[in-house]
Structure 1
Protein backbone atom coordinates (compact mmCIF):
# COMPACT_ATOMS: atom_id res chain seq x y z
CA UNK A 1 0.00 0.00 0.00
CA UNK A 2 1.08 3.56 -0.66
CA UNK A 3 -0.69 5.03 2.39
CA UNK A 4 -1.60 3.78 5.86
CA UNK A 5 -5.13 2.37 5.88
CA UNK A 6 -5.49 2.81 9.66
CA UNK A 7 -4.88 5.73 12.00
CA UNK A 8 -5.19 6.13 15.78
CA UNK A 9 -6.49 8.90 18.01
CA UNK A 10 -6.32 8.96 21.81
CA UNK A 11 -9.79 9.64 23.22
CA UNK A 12 -8.90 9.59 26.92
CA UNK A 13 -6.51 7.80 29.27
CA UNK A 14 -8.18 4.44 28.60
CA UNK A 15 -9.54 4.54 25.05
CA UNK A 16 -7.89 4.89 21.66
CA UNK A 17 -10.08 5.22 18.57
CA UNK A 18 -8.66 3.47 15.51
CA UNK A 19 -10.08 4.64 12.19
CA UNK A 20 -9.98 2.97 8.80
CA UNK A 21 -9.69 4.84 5.54
CA UNK A 22 -13.32 3.88 4.84
CA UNK A 23 -14.53 5.63 7.99
CA UNK A 24 -15.14 2.76 10.41
CA UNK A 25 -14.03 3.21 14.01
CA UNK A 26 -12.60 0.52 16.27
CA UNK A 27 -11.79 1.03 19.94
CA UNK A 28 -8.85 -0.15 22.02
CA UNK A 29 -9.87 -0.04 25.69
CA UNK A 30 -7.03 -0.30 28.22
CA UNK A 31 -7.07 -0.89 31.95
CA UNK A 32 -4.19 -1.11 34.37
CA UNK A 33 -3.48 -4.75 33.50
CA UNK A 34 -5.15 -5.75 30.24
CA UNK A 35 -6.92 -4.38 27.18
CA UNK A 36 -9.78 -5.16 24.81
CA UNK A 37 -9.83 -4.38 21.09
CA UNK A 38 -13.35 -3.85 19.77
CA UNK A 39 -13.71 -4.99 16.13
CA UNK A 40 -11.11 -5.72 13.44
CA UNK A 41 -12.49 -4.02 10.30
CA UNK A 42 -12.25 -5.26 6.72
CA UNK A 43 -9.26 -7.55 6.78
CA UNK A 44 -6.78 -5.07 5.34
CA UNK A 45 -3.35 -5.86 6.77
CA UNK A 46 -1.77 -3.49 9.26
CA UNK A 47 -4.30 -3.32 12.07
CA UNK A 48 -2.40 -5.78 14.26
CA UNK A 49 0.85 -3.88 13.79
CA UNK A 50 -0.82 -0.61 14.78
CA UNK A 51 -2.52 -2.05 17.87
CA UNK A 52 0.77 -3.52 19.05
CA UNK A 53 2.41 -0.10 18.83
CA UNK A 54 -0.35 1.47 20.95
CA UNK A 55 -0.33 -0.97 23.87
CA UNK A 56 2.13 -3.40 25.39
CA UNK A 57 -0.58 -4.97 27.55
CA UNK A 58 -2.05 -8.38 26.88
CA UNK A 59 -5.36 -7.95 25.09
CA UNK A 60 -8.40 -9.83 23.87
CA UNK A 61 -10.61 -9.06 20.89
CA UNK A 62 -14.37 -8.50 20.90
CA UNK A 63 -16.32 -8.50 17.64
CA UNK A 64 -19.61 -6.61 17.87
CA UNK A 65 -21.18 -8.45 14.92
CA UNK A 66 -20.34 -10.47 11.83
CA UNK A 67 -20.45 -7.88 9.04
CA UNK A 68 -17.38 -7.57 6.85
CA UNK A 69 -16.45 -4.07 8.05
CA UNK A 70 -16.21 -5.30 11.65
CA UNK A 71 -15.10 -8.93 11.61
CA UNK A 72 -12.90 -9.79 8.63
CA UNK A 73 -9.63 -8.72 10.24
CA UNK A 74 -9.72 -11.50 12.84
CA UNK A 75 -7.05 -13.70 11.18
CA UNK A 76 -4.39 -11.18 12.24
CA UNK A 77 -5.36 -11.97 15.86
CA UNK A 78 -5.54 -15.76 15.73
CA UNK A 79 -3.14 -16.02 18.69
CA UNK A 80 -5.53 -13.97 20.85
CA UNK A 81 -8.87 -14.82 22.44
CA UNK A 82 -11.37 -13.50 19.87
CA UNK A 83 -15.01 -13.32 20.96
CA UNK A 84 -18.14 -13.02 18.84
CA UNK A 85 -21.75 -14.02 19.37
CA UNK A 86 -22.01 -17.39 17.61
CA UNK A 87 -25.35 -16.41 16.07
CA UNK A 88 -23.32 -14.26 13.66
CA UNK A 89 -20.87 -16.94 12.51
CA UNK A 90 -22.93 -17.76 9.36
CA UNK A 91 -23.03 -14.04 8.57
CA UNK A 92 -19.26 -13.74 9.02
CA UNK A 93 -18.73 -16.69 6.70
CA UNK A 94 -21.01 -15.19 4.05
CA UNK A 95 -18.89 -12.02 4.07
CA UNK A 96 -15.60 -13.79 3.27
CA UNK A 97 -15.58 -13.86 -0.56
CA UNK A 98 -12.95 -11.46 -1.83
CA UNK A 99 -15.43 -9.66 -4.07
CA UNK A 100 -17.45 -8.60 -1.00
CA UNK A 101 -14.69 -6.68 0.78
CA UNK A 102 -13.03 -5.44 -2.42
CA UNK A 103 -16.36 -4.06 -3.66
CA UNK A 104 -17.06 -2.44 -0.30
CA UNK A 105 -13.67 -0.72 -0.16
CA UNK A 106 -13.91 0.47 -3.76
CA UNK A 107 -17.37 1.89 -3.10
CA UNK A 108 -16.27 3.72 0.04
CA UNK A 109 -12.90 5.04 -1.17
CA UNK A 110 -14.06 5.91 -4.66
CA UNK A 111 -11.37 7.77 -6.58
CA UNK A 112 -9.05 7.59 -3.57
CA UNK A 113 -8.71 3.80 -3.92
CA UNK A 114 -5.77 4.15 -6.31
CA UNK A 115 -4.05 6.55 -3.90
CA UNK A 116 -3.84 3.77 -1.31
CA UNK A 117 -2.48 1.28 -3.83
CA UNK A 118 -4.26 -1.67 -2.24
CA UNK A 119 -3.49 -4.98 -3.93
CA UNK A 120 -4.66 -8.53 -3.28
CA UNK A 121 -1.58 -9.06 -1.11
CA UNK A 122 -2.77 -6.36 1.29
CA UNK A 123 -5.71 -8.45 2.51
CA UNK A 124 -5.55 -11.07 5.26
CA UNK A 125 -6.40 -14.65 4.43
CA UNK A 126 -9.95 -15.96 4.51
CA UNK A 127 -10.57 -18.25 7.50
CA UNK A 128 -14.13 -19.66 7.32
CA UNK A 129 -13.74 -21.84 10.42
CA UNK A 130 -12.15 -19.21 12.63
CA UNK A 131 -12.13 -20.16 16.32
CA UNK A 132 -14.48 -17.56 17.77
CA UNK A 133 -15.06 -17.84 21.49
CA UNK A 134 -18.68 -17.24 22.47
CA UNK A 135 -19.57 -13.66 23.31
CA UNK A 136 -22.73 -13.58 25.36
CA UNK A 137 -24.94 -11.14 27.18
CA UNK A 138 -23.66 -10.35 30.67
CA UNK A 139 -19.98 -11.05 30.07
CA UNK A 140 -17.55 -8.78 31.92
CA UNK A 141 -13.93 -8.18 30.95
CA UNK A 142 -11.95 -6.93 33.97
CA UNK A 143 -9.03 -4.91 32.62
CA UNK A 144 -7.83 -3.57 35.97
CA UNK A 145 -9.54 -0.42 37.20
CA UNK A 146 -11.78 -0.51 34.13
CA UNK A 147 -14.34 -3.12 33.12
CA UNK A 148 -16.10 -3.79 29.82
CA UNK A 149 -19.63 -5.17 30.11
CA UNK A 150 -21.28 -6.91 27.17
CA UNK A 151 -24.97 -6.60 26.30
CA UNK A 152 -26.98 -8.23 23.52
CA UNK A 153 -28.69 -5.81 21.17
CA UNK A 154 -30.04 -7.87 18.24
CA UNK A 155 -31.71 -6.12 15.35
CA UNK A 156 -29.00 -4.99 12.94
CA UNK A 157 -27.88 -8.64 13.02
CA UNK A 158 -28.97 -11.59 15.13
CA UNK A 159 -25.82 -11.48 17.23
CA UNK A 160 -25.11 -7.76 17.56
CA UNK A 161 -23.59 -6.78 20.91
CA UNK A 162 -22.79 -3.46 22.59
CA UNK A 163 -20.17 -2.49 25.18
CA UNK A 164 -20.57 -0.54 28.40
CA UNK A 165 -17.58 0.90 30.28
CA UNK A 166 -19.29 1.86 33.55
CA UNK A 167 -16.26 3.47 35.20
CA UNK A 168 -16.07 5.95 32.32
CA UNK A 169 -19.81 6.28 31.78
CA UNK A 170 -19.43 5.28 28.12
CA UNK A 171 -21.77 3.09 26.06
CA UNK A 172 -20.47 1.96 22.67
CA UNK A 173 -23.50 1.07 20.56
CA UNK A 174 -21.58 0.65 17.31
CA UNK A 175 -23.91 -0.30 14.46
CA UNK A 176 -26.67 -1.45 16.82
CA UNK A 177 -28.02 2.07 17.27
CA UNK A 178 -26.57 5.01 15.38
CA UNK A 179 -27.29 7.80 12.90
CA UNK A 180 -28.19 5.41 10.08
CA UNK A 181 -28.88 2.01 11.62
CA UNK A 182 -29.37 -0.59 8.88
CA UNK A 183 -32.54 -2.56 9.55
CA UNK A 184 -33.52 -3.59 6.05
CA UNK A 185 -31.61 -6.78 5.26
CA UNK A 186 -33.21 -10.23 5.47
CA UNK A 187 -31.28 -11.00 8.66
CA UNK A 188 -32.49 -7.88 10.49
CA UNK A 189 -35.28 -7.68 13.05
CA UNK A 190 -38.60 -6.12 12.25
CA UNK A 191 -39.10 -2.54 13.41
CA UNK A 192 -41.47 -3.77 16.12
CA UNK A 193 -38.97 -6.30 17.46
CA UNK A 194 -36.14 -3.78 17.32
CA UNK A 195 -38.19 -1.23 19.21
CA UNK A 196 -38.77 -3.66 22.08
CA UNK A 197 -35.10 -4.65 22.16
CA UNK A 198 -34.16 -0.97 22.38
CA UNK A 199 -36.64 -0.38 25.21
CA UNK A 200 -35.21 -3.36 27.10
CA UNK A 201 -31.61 -2.15 26.77
CA UNK A 202 -32.53 1.41 27.71
CA UNK A 203 -34.19 0.19 30.89
CA UNK A 204 -31.31 -2.13 31.78
CA UNK A 205 -28.66 0.58 31.42
CA UNK A 206 -30.61 3.58 32.68
CA UNK A 207 -28.36 6.04 34.53
CA UNK A 208 -25.16 4.10 33.85
CA UNK A 209 -23.64 6.20 31.06
CA UNK A 210 -23.46 9.80 29.89
CA UNK A 211 -21.61 9.33 26.59
CA UNK A 212 -22.43 7.19 23.55
CA UNK A 213 -19.90 6.20 20.86
CA UNK A 214 -20.63 4.63 17.48
CA UNK A 215 -18.48 2.98 14.79
CA UNK A 216 -18.84 5.00 11.59
CA UNK A 217 -17.41 8.45 10.80
CA UNK A 218 -18.52 10.52 13.83
CA UNK A 219 -17.42 8.94 17.10
CA UNK A 220 -19.80 10.49 19.64
CA UNK A 221 -23.55 10.95 19.35
CA UNK A 222 -26.20 12.25 21.73
CA UNK A 223 -26.57 10.34 24.99
CA UNK A 224 -30.35 10.11 24.44
CA UNK A 225 -29.99 8.08 21.26
CA UNK A 226 -31.82 5.04 22.65
CA UNK A 227 -34.89 7.11 23.51
CA UNK A 228 -34.66 8.83 20.15
CA UNK A 229 -34.52 5.47 18.39
CA UNK A 230 -37.66 4.33 20.19
CA UNK A 231 -39.35 7.50 18.93
CA UNK A 232 -38.18 6.76 15.38
CA UNK A 233 -39.68 3.28 15.60
CA UNK A 234 -42.95 4.76 16.88
CA UNK A 235 -43.01 7.18 13.95
CA UNK A 236 -42.47 4.35 11.47
CA UNK A 237 -45.30 2.39 13.06
CA UNK A 238 -47.47 5.50 12.92
CA UNK A 239 -46.59 6.40 9.34
CA UNK A 240 -44.84 9.63 10.31
CA UNK A 241 -41.63 9.22 8.26
CA UNK A 242 -40.13 10.61 5.04
CA UNK A 243 -39.25 7.17 3.60
CA UNK A 244 -36.40 8.32 1.38
CA UNK A 245 -35.26 5.34 -0.78
CA UNK A 246 -31.75 4.21 0.21
CA UNK A 247 -30.44 1.41 -2.05
CA UNK A 248 -27.34 -0.34 -0.72
CA UNK A 249 -25.46 -3.20 -2.42
CA UNK A 250 -28.55 -4.40 -4.25
CA UNK A 251 -30.99 -4.07 -1.34
CA UNK A 252 -33.57 -1.30 -0.94
CA UNK A 253 -34.15 0.38 2.41
CA UNK A 254 -35.99 3.54 3.42
CA UNK A 255 -34.57 6.34 5.58
CA UNK A 256 -37.04 7.26 8.30
CA UNK A 257 -36.03 10.83 9.21
CA UNK A 258 -34.71 13.67 7.07
CA UNK A 259 -30.90 13.93 7.17
CA UNK A 260 -28.03 15.40 5.19
CA UNK A 261 -25.60 13.41 3.05
CA UNK A 262 -23.59 12.52 6.17
CA UNK A 263 -26.68 11.19 7.97
CA UNK A 264 -26.90 14.13 10.36
CA UNK A 265 -30.58 14.59 11.14
CA UNK A 266 -31.94 17.97 10.15
CA UNK A 267 -33.68 18.35 13.51
CA UNK A 268 -30.41 17.81 15.42
CA UNK A 269 -31.26 14.43 16.92
CA UNK A 270 -28.95 11.43 16.55
CA UNK A 271 -31.02 8.28 15.94
CA UNK A 272 -32.22 7.21 12.51
CA UNK A 273 -33.26 3.99 10.80
CA UNK A 274 -32.98 2.67 7.28
CA UNK A 275 -35.70 0.04 7.34
CA UNK A 276 -37.52 -2.54 5.26
CA UNK A 277 -41.19 -1.75 4.57
CA UNK A 278 -41.91 -5.48 4.50
CA UNK A 279 -40.50 -5.94 8.02
CA UNK A 280 -42.32 -3.42 10.17
CA UNK A 281 -44.55 -5.63 12.35
Structure 2
Protein backbone atom coordinates (compact mmCIF):
# COMPACT_ATOMS: atom_id res chain seq x y z
CA UNK A 1 0.00 0.00 0.00
CA UNK A 2 1.27 3.51 -0.82
CA UNK A 3 2.43 5.93 1.84
CA UNK A 4 -0.56 8.28 1.53
CA UNK A 5 -3.00 6.38 3.79
CA UNK A 6 -0.34 6.03 6.49
CA UNK A 7 0.38 9.75 6.23
CA UNK A 8 -3.32 10.54 6.67
CA UNK A 9 -3.53 8.29 9.73
CA UNK A 10 -0.39 9.88 11.23
CA UNK A 11 -1.84 13.33 10.55
CA UNK A 12 -5.04 12.42 12.41
CA UNK A 13 -3.03 11.23 15.40
CA UNK A 14 -1.05 14.44 15.23
CA UNK A 15 -4.26 16.46 15.06
CA UNK A 16 -5.40 14.94 18.37
CA UNK A 17 -2.07 15.91 19.93
CA UNK A 18 -2.31 19.38 18.40
CA UNK A 19 -5.84 19.92 19.73
CA UNK A 20 -4.94 19.03 23.31
CA UNK A 21 -1.64 20.90 23.09
CA UNK A 22 -3.38 24.02 21.78
CA UNK A 23 -5.74 24.08 24.78
CA UNK A 24 -2.89 23.62 27.23
CA UNK A 25 -0.57 26.13 25.56
CA UNK A 26 -3.28 28.78 25.16
CA UNK A 27 -3.78 28.67 28.92
CA UNK A 28 -0.06 29.17 29.49
CA UNK A 29 0.13 31.94 26.87
CA UNK A 30 -2.88 33.72 28.33
CA UNK A 31 -1.31 33.81 31.80
CA UNK A 32 1.96 35.16 30.48
CA UNK A 33 0.33 37.62 28.09
CA UNK A 34 -1.88 39.27 30.72
CA UNK A 35 0.08 38.75 33.94
CA UNK A 36 3.68 38.46 32.66
CA UNK A 37 3.97 35.35 34.86
CA UNK A 38 5.83 32.22 33.75
CA UNK A 39 3.65 29.53 35.32
CA UNK A 40 5.96 26.57 35.90
CA UNK A 41 3.11 24.75 37.68
CA UNK A 42 0.97 24.73 34.53
CA UNK A 43 1.72 21.06 33.80
CA UNK A 44 0.63 20.06 37.30
CA UNK A 45 -2.76 21.69 36.77
CA UNK A 46 -2.98 19.51 33.65
CA UNK A 47 -2.08 16.45 35.73
CA UNK A 48 -4.60 17.41 38.40
CA UNK A 49 -7.32 17.62 35.75
CA UNK A 50 -6.60 14.06 34.61
CA UNK A 51 -6.52 12.68 38.16
CA UNK A 52 -9.76 14.43 39.14
CA UNK A 53 -11.39 13.12 35.95
CA UNK A 54 -10.46 9.57 36.97
CA UNK A 55 -11.74 10.17 40.51
CA UNK A 56 -15.09 11.61 39.38
CA UNK A 57 -15.75 8.93 36.76
CA UNK A 58 -14.87 6.21 39.28
CA UNK A 59 -17.10 7.79 41.92
CA UNK A 60 -20.14 8.17 39.65
CA UNK A 61 -19.88 4.81 37.90
CA UNK A 62 -22.64 3.65 35.57
CA UNK A 63 -22.37 4.45 31.89
CA UNK A 64 -18.96 5.97 31.04
CA UNK A 65 -20.58 8.92 29.24
CA UNK A 66 -22.29 10.11 32.44
CA UNK A 67 -19.15 10.27 34.55
CA UNK A 68 -17.14 11.77 31.71
CA UNK A 69 -19.72 14.52 31.09
CA UNK A 70 -19.70 15.45 34.78
CA UNK A 71 -15.89 15.46 34.82
CA UNK A 72 -15.72 17.63 31.69
CA UNK A 73 -17.97 20.22 33.33
CA UNK A 74 -16.74 20.09 36.92
CA UNK A 75 -12.99 19.44 36.74
CA UNK A 76 -11.95 22.62 34.85
CA UNK A 77 -13.97 24.70 37.32
CA UNK A 78 -12.42 23.00 40.35
CA UNK A 79 -8.88 23.33 39.01
CA UNK A 80 -9.55 26.93 37.97
CA UNK A 81 -10.79 27.83 41.46
CA UNK A 82 -7.74 26.16 43.01
CA UNK A 83 -5.44 28.11 40.69
CA UNK A 84 -7.23 31.39 41.45
CA UNK A 85 -6.81 30.69 45.17
CA UNK A 86 -3.10 30.02 44.60
CA UNK A 87 -2.82 33.33 42.78
CA UNK A 88 -4.49 35.30 45.57
CA UNK A 89 -2.59 33.60 48.39
CA UNK A 90 0.86 33.13 46.82
CA UNK A 91 1.53 35.14 43.66
CA UNK A 92 -0.20 38.25 44.95
CA UNK A 93 2.02 38.12 48.07
CA UNK A 94 5.18 38.27 45.96
CA UNK A 95 3.75 41.20 43.94
CA UNK A 96 3.99 39.20 40.68
CA UNK A 97 7.74 39.77 40.58
CA UNK A 98 9.09 37.72 37.61
CA UNK A 99 11.85 35.95 39.52
CA UNK A 100 9.85 35.28 42.66
CA UNK A 101 6.81 34.03 40.75
CA UNK A 102 8.98 31.41 39.03
CA UNK A 103 10.15 30.15 42.44
CA UNK A 104 6.60 30.33 43.80
CA UNK A 105 5.12 28.33 40.91
CA UNK A 106 7.89 25.74 41.28
CA UNK A 107 6.77 25.39 44.89
CA UNK A 108 3.13 25.01 43.77
CA UNK A 109 4.29 22.38 41.29
CA UNK A 110 5.89 20.21 43.95
CA UNK A 111 3.02 20.67 46.40
CA UNK A 112 0.44 19.53 43.83
CA UNK A 113 2.63 16.66 42.68
CA UNK A 114 3.41 15.30 46.14
CA UNK A 115 -0.13 15.72 47.48
CA UNK A 116 -1.39 13.80 44.45
CA UNK A 117 1.21 11.07 45.04
CA UNK A 118 0.16 10.73 48.70
CA UNK A 119 -3.58 10.61 47.95
CA UNK A 120 -3.88 9.14 44.46
CA UNK A 121 -0.82 6.88 44.46
CA UNK A 122 1.89 6.14 41.92
CA UNK A 123 -0.15 3.91 39.61
CA UNK A 124 -1.30 5.01 36.16
CA UNK A 125 -5.06 4.55 35.87
CA UNK A 126 -7.27 4.66 32.76
CA UNK A 127 -10.55 6.47 32.19
CA UNK A 128 -13.03 4.72 29.94
CA UNK A 129 -14.04 6.89 26.95
CA UNK A 130 -17.72 7.87 26.72
CA UNK A 131 -17.86 6.40 23.21
CA UNK A 132 -15.19 4.73 21.14
CA UNK A 133 -16.58 3.43 17.85
CA UNK A 134 -13.91 2.28 15.40
CA UNK A 135 -14.29 4.15 12.10
CA UNK A 136 -12.76 2.92 8.85
CA UNK A 137 -10.98 5.64 6.87
CA UNK A 138 -11.32 5.80 3.08
CA UNK A 139 -8.56 6.57 0.61
CA UNK A 140 -8.61 7.62 -3.03
CA UNK A 141 -6.37 6.18 -5.75
CA UNK A 142 -6.15 6.34 -9.52
CA UNK A 143 -7.33 3.17 -11.24
CA UNK A 144 -7.47 3.16 -15.02
CA UNK A 145 -7.15 6.95 -15.13
CA UNK A 146 -10.12 7.44 -12.79
CA UNK A 147 -10.39 8.25 -9.09
CA UNK A 148 -11.62 5.29 -7.07
CA UNK A 149 -12.56 5.22 -3.39
CA UNK A 150 -11.48 2.26 -1.29
CA UNK A 151 -10.96 1.35 2.37
CA UNK A 152 -7.44 0.07 3.11
CA UNK A 153 -7.31 -2.73 5.66
CA UNK A 154 -6.36 -1.48 9.11
CA UNK A 155 -6.74 2.22 8.26
CA UNK A 156 -9.08 3.49 10.96
CA UNK A 157 -9.51 5.82 13.89
CA UNK A 158 -12.03 6.16 16.69
CA UNK A 159 -15.03 8.43 17.05
CA UNK A 160 -13.69 9.70 20.37
CA UNK A 161 -10.45 10.99 18.85
CA UNK A 162 -12.42 12.92 16.26
CA UNK A 163 -14.60 14.30 19.06
CA UNK A 164 -11.50 15.51 20.93
CA UNK A 165 -10.44 17.53 17.89
CA UNK A 166 -13.90 19.03 17.53
CA UNK A 167 -14.28 19.81 21.24
CA UNK A 168 -10.87 21.50 21.44
CA UNK A 169 -11.66 23.60 18.37
CA UNK A 170 -14.97 24.66 19.93
CA UNK A 171 -13.35 25.67 23.22
CA UNK A 172 -10.62 27.64 21.43
CA UNK A 173 -13.27 29.51 19.44
CA UNK A 174 -15.04 30.23 22.72
CA UNK A 175 -11.84 31.65 24.23
CA UNK A 176 -11.32 33.83 21.14
CA UNK A 177 -14.92 35.08 21.34
CA UNK A 178 -14.58 35.79 25.05
CA UNK A 179 -11.35 37.73 24.58
CA UNK A 180 -12.62 39.82 21.66
CA UNK A 181 -16.37 40.21 22.19
CA UNK A 182 -17.03 40.42 25.94
CA UNK A 183 -16.47 42.99 28.66
CA UNK A 184 -14.32 40.56 30.63
CA UNK A 185 -12.11 40.04 27.59
CA UNK A 186 -11.84 43.81 27.20
CA UNK A 187 -10.67 44.13 30.80
CA UNK A 188 -8.10 41.38 30.23
CA UNK A 189 -6.75 43.09 27.11
CA UNK A 190 -6.62 46.47 28.84
CA UNK A 191 -4.68 44.96 31.73
CA UNK A 192 -2.35 43.23 29.28
CA UNK A 193 -1.56 46.45 27.41
CA UNK A 194 -0.90 48.68 30.42
CA UNK A 195 -1.39 47.55 34.00
CA UNK A 196 -0.86 51.01 35.53
CA UNK A 197 -3.30 52.67 33.15
CA UNK A 198 -5.86 49.94 33.87
CA UNK A 199 -5.51 50.66 37.58
CA UNK A 200 -5.93 54.38 36.92
CA UNK A 201 -9.23 53.69 35.14
CA UNK A 202 -10.51 51.65 38.08
CA UNK A 203 -10.09 48.16 36.62
CA UNK A 204 -9.69 45.61 39.47
CA UNK A 205 -6.37 44.29 38.19
CA UNK A 206 -5.85 41.77 41.00
CA UNK A 207 -9.25 40.20 40.31
CA UNK A 208 -8.43 40.10 36.60
CA UNK A 209 -5.15 38.35 37.44
CA UNK A 210 -6.94 35.76 39.58
CA UNK A 211 -9.48 35.18 36.79
CA UNK A 212 -6.76 34.81 34.14
CA UNK A 213 -4.66 32.45 36.27
CA UNK A 214 -7.73 30.32 36.99
CA UNK A 215 -8.78 30.36 33.33
CA UNK A 216 -5.33 29.24 32.19
CA UNK A 217 -5.32 26.36 34.66
CA UNK A 218 -8.91 25.46 33.74
CA UNK A 219 -7.98 25.18 30.06
CA UNK A 220 -5.10 22.86 30.95
CA UNK A 221 -7.44 20.76 33.10
CA UNK A 222 -10.01 20.56 30.28
CA UNK A 223 -7.28 19.39 27.90
CA UNK A 224 -6.35 16.69 30.41
CA UNK A 225 -9.97 15.52 30.76
CA UNK A 226 -10.19 15.20 26.98
CA UNK A 227 -6.95 13.24 26.60
CA UNK A 228 -7.11 10.97 29.67
CA UNK A 229 -9.36 8.35 27.97
CA UNK A 230 -6.62 8.01 25.35
CA UNK A 231 -3.71 8.12 27.79
CA UNK A 232 -3.81 7.32 31.52
CA UNK A 233 -3.90 9.49 34.63
CA UNK A 234 -0.55 9.57 36.46
CA UNK A 235 0.95 11.90 39.02
CA UNK A 236 4.02 12.56 36.83
CA UNK A 237 2.13 13.23 33.59
CA UNK A 238 2.48 17.03 33.80
CA UNK A 239 6.07 17.18 32.57
CA UNK A 240 5.55 16.65 28.84
CA UNK A 241 2.57 19.02 28.49
CA UNK A 242 4.53 21.75 30.28
CA UNK A 243 7.59 21.30 28.06
CA UNK A 244 5.57 21.18 24.84
CA UNK A 245 3.49 24.19 25.93
CA UNK A 246 6.64 26.24 26.50
CA UNK A 247 7.91 25.17 23.07
CA UNK A 248 4.61 26.21 21.49
CA UNK A 249 4.36 29.63 23.15
CA UNK A 250 7.99 30.42 22.32
CA UNK A 251 7.52 29.52 18.67
CA UNK A 252 4.14 31.24 18.37
CA UNK A 253 5.13 34.31 20.36
CA UNK A 254 4.75 34.83 24.08
CA UNK A 255 1.27 36.16 24.80
CA UNK A 256 0.00 35.71 21.22
CA UNK A 257 -3.06 33.46 21.20
CA UNK A 258 -3.25 33.09 17.38
CA UNK A 259 0.47 32.33 17.28
CA UNK A 260 0.04 29.75 20.04
CA UNK A 261 -2.70 27.92 18.14
CA UNK A 262 -0.71 27.92 14.88
CA UNK A 263 2.42 26.70 16.65
CA UNK A 264 0.44 23.98 18.45
CA UNK A 265 -0.91 22.71 15.12
CA UNK A 266 2.60 22.76 13.66
CA UNK A 267 4.18 20.92 16.60
CA UNK A 268 1.26 18.49 17.04
CA UNK A 269 1.10 17.44 13.40
CA UNK A 270 4.87 17.12 13.07
CA UNK A 271 5.00 15.12 16.31
CA UNK A 272 2.32 12.72 15.07
CA UNK A 273 3.85 12.23 11.63
CA UNK A 274 7.47 11.93 12.80
CA UNK A 275 6.50 9.61 15.68
CA UNK A 276 4.70 7.23 13.31
CA UNK A 277 7.33 7.13 10.57
CA UNK A 278 10.48 7.54 12.69
CA UNK A 279 10.42 7.87 16.50
CA UNK A 280 8.86 10.07 19.21
CA UNK A 281 12.35 10.99 20.41
CA UNK A 282 13.24 12.46 17.02
CA UNK A 283 10.05 14.53 17.09
CA UNK A 284 11.03 16.08 20.44
CA UNK A 285 14.59 16.74 19.20
CA UNK A 286 13.34 18.53 16.08
CA UNK A 287 10.88 20.60 18.13
CA UNK A 288 13.70 21.68 20.44
CA UNK A 289 15.88 22.59 17.46
CA UNK A 290 13.03 24.65 16.04
CA UNK A 291 12.80 26.58 19.32
CA UNK A 292 16.54 27.28 19.14
CA UNK A 293 16.20 28.59 15.58
CA UNK A 294 13.26 30.81 16.53
CA UNK A 295 15.15 32.24 19.50
CA UNK A 296 18.18 33.01 17.31
CA UNK A 297 16.45 34.46 14.24
CA UNK A 298 13.11 35.73 15.61
CA UNK A 299 13.22 35.99 19.43
CA UNK A 300 9.70 37.43 19.64
CA UNK A 301 8.24 34.31 17.97
CA UNK A 302 6.41 33.88 14.69
CA UNK A 303 3.45 36.06 15.70
CA UNK A 304 5.00 38.03 18.54
CA UNK A 305 5.78 41.73 18.48
CA UNK A 306 9.26 42.96 19.27
CA UNK A 307 9.17 45.22 22.31
CA UNK A 308 11.06 48.49 22.26
Which of the two has higher C-alpha Rg? 2
What TM-score bracket applies, with the shorter chain setting the length?
Answer: under 0.3
Higher relative contact order, structure no. (Cα contacts within 8 Å, ≥ 6 residues apart): 2
Normalised to the residue count of structure 1, the TM-score between the two structures is 0.24
